[in-house]
Amino acid sequence: MQIDKNTVKKIALLSRLELDEKESELYSSQLAAILSYIDKLNEIDTKDVLPTSHVLSTLKNVFRKDSLKSSLDAADALSNAPSKEGDFFKVPQVIEGK
């Protein structure tokens, strides 16, 4: 599978990362090398194989009872905030609608 500079830039935007020309070039060549190594997987026929997203195949239906636990104080919730106003987290203006 090929991965060129433009693909890397697209992926970077999706990941909210910014790459300069040099970085785009470096990452695209490194990712290309890794992906071509990874392509080894195509040697295996997995047509009828079920995917494993959990290794503990017996683990299922893990629930919590609907009972209240104490929340953090707003002050603690906000204690790490780079920017806040009152009890709110503060961010650059959001133009509503994604």
What residues between 31 and 60 interact with another protein by CB under 8 A?
31, 33-35, 37-44, 46, 49-56, 59-60
SS3 category, 83: coil
Which x/- pattern, by CB under 8 A, does the window 56-85 give for another protein? x--xxxxxxxxxxxxxxxx-xxxxxxxx-x
Q: By the 8 A CB rule, do 28 and 3 touch?
A: yes
21 or 85: CB nearest another protein: 85
Task: With residue 33 as reference, give the H or E element that holds it.
Answer: helix 21-38
CA distance 75 to 34: 45
Which x/- pattern, by CB under 8 A, does the window 2-21 give for another protein? -x---xx-xxxxxxxxxx--
